[in-house]
Each structure stands twice: as C-alpha cells, then as structure tokens.
Amino acid sequence: MLNKYLTLSLLFLTLCILACKKDKSTDYANVVFPHKLYVTGVTQKGTIRVYTANGEITDMALKNKFIGKDSTYFNLAYQPSDTSSMTFIDRDTAMFSSSTLKYAVTKNITQFLFTSKFRSPLNKSDFIYNLLKYHDPAPASINGAVIEGEVRVGYGDYNNLSFSRLSYKIVSSSSFQNVFQYKSSAGALFNEFNSSVITQLKTNDTLAIQEAAVVLKSR
C-alpha cells in the first residue's frame, strides 16, 4: 500500500514538473531579445462612468458637460505618453518607445507588471494613488518617506500584450471661512480602476473614469 501511494506521489510530481517546463518553454524560449512590440489598436472596455458621493450619474449630457475641456483624455486615440511601441530588453526589463527609462518586468501567468526604476516620494492618502489598482510591489524608503515607481499593467505574452488604460477626471470643491477652494485633475494611465475609491468621495467631489485596452504585437 505504501509503495502504491509513493508511486502515485512520484507520478503527480513528475506531471507538475513537466507542466512547469512546458509553460516555461512556450513563454519566452523562442523570443530573441531585445524584442519589440508595436501598438496595433485601442479597444474601449466600457462607457464613461461618473460618480459622486451620492452615487453614479447616468445622464450622458451631464457626463459630457463634466468632462468638458478634458475630453482629450477620454478619446481612444489619445495615449498617456509616447507608447507607440515597447521593447523587452530581456525577460525582466522593458522600455517604452524612445524613452531610456527602464521598467522592471514581473510576470504572473498572463499578467505583466511593469514597474519604473525611477522612484519618487508619494502620499498614500492622495486620491489619484488610491484610484489605481496596482502599485509598486517593492516600495522603498528614504529618510522616512516612501518612494515608489510608476506601475503599468498588461496581459498576454512576450509577443502580444494588452495594456490596461485608465482615463480619469476628479474635481473637488470646498469652502472654509468664506474661502472657496477648487481642485481639478485629469489624465490617463496604464493601470486599472480601484472601485473601492468611490467610497472615498466626499460632498462636492465628482469622479469620471473610462477603461480601455491598448494592444501591442510583435512583427
């Protein structure tokens, strides 16, 4: 009976090893580095969504009025930066277009996280920080200040990648002792929407977001 269980265990272990080897060999074994991918299109994942502390605004006219002069960021033809192409220098490092800034590549099955090697101080209470789903997996600290690199998210393999793109606009206003304050921020990032940020909206806050996918392929 012991031999039977031992045989089954060895068989299971062998199958696991073979499966891992197969996944590894089909992943990047046939890729010659440096390896370049080019943008082939942008796909919209959904309509523009607008939220306030009281809930979601569904009236399209009100949405368009809120977006206003920042509509460029919600145009599918708009790119957050010079990202007409990207290059895998090796399996663990990448660069985008003509930029010399390097990104560390972390792969988990079909998900790729690209973390900028340039880090800067951040405020974790900042709304834009909390708007994003993915952050630097290995933040550092300098003189007590937390520093992180920008994170970009993609799905696929070393030949075909679909980058998540998040367009946003946040407006907040308040008054204190007859002093009126108005803050507005808009942009687009290669990251995903953290829906829990909706619960952080305060009175007079309005948030608009739109998700899309930027597709890159090798030639």
Within-domain flag for 20:
no
Query: In terms of Cα–Cα distance, which of 118, 96, 119, 93 is closest to 106?
Result: 93
Q: How many CB atoms lie within 10 A of CB 217?
A: 14
**73-74-78-84 Cα dihedral, nearest 10 degrees:** 110
* Mean pLDDT for the stretch of residues 9-25: 43
Averaged pLDDT score across all residues of the chain: 88
Within-domain flag for 12:
no
* Mean pLDDT for the stretch of residues 154-179: 92
Within-domain flag for 205:
yes
> Looking at residue 80, what is its pLDDT?
67
Within-domain flag for 17:
no
> Looking at residue 180, what is its pLDDT?
78
How many domains does the structure of the chain reveal?
A: 1
Within-domain flag for 23:
no
* 3 Rama class: left (phi>0) / alpha (psi -120 to 50) / beta: alpha
Whether the per-residue pLDDT at 205 is higher than 80: the answer is yes
Q: What is the pLDDT of residues 82-136, one digit of tens each?
A: 678 999 999 999 999 989 999 999 999 999 999 999 999 988 899 999 999 999 9
> Looking at residue 143, what is its pLDDT?
85
* Mean pLDDT for the stretch of residues 179-205: 94
Within-domain flag for 80:
yes
Within-domain flag for 19:
no
Give 130's contacts (C-beta < 8 A, 6+ positions apart): 124, 194, 196, 197, 200
Query: pTM to 2 decimals?
Result: 0.84
Within-domain flag for 9:
no
pLDDT range class, residue 21, cuts 50, 70, 90: very low
CB 103 within 8 A of CB 152: yes
- Domain span at residue 139 reads 34-217
Whether the per-residue pLDDT at 6 is higher than 70: the answer is no
pLDDT range class, residue 81, cuts 50, 70, 90: low
> What are the two backbone dihedrals, phi and then psi, of residue 63, each rounded to the nearest 5 degrees?
-60, -50
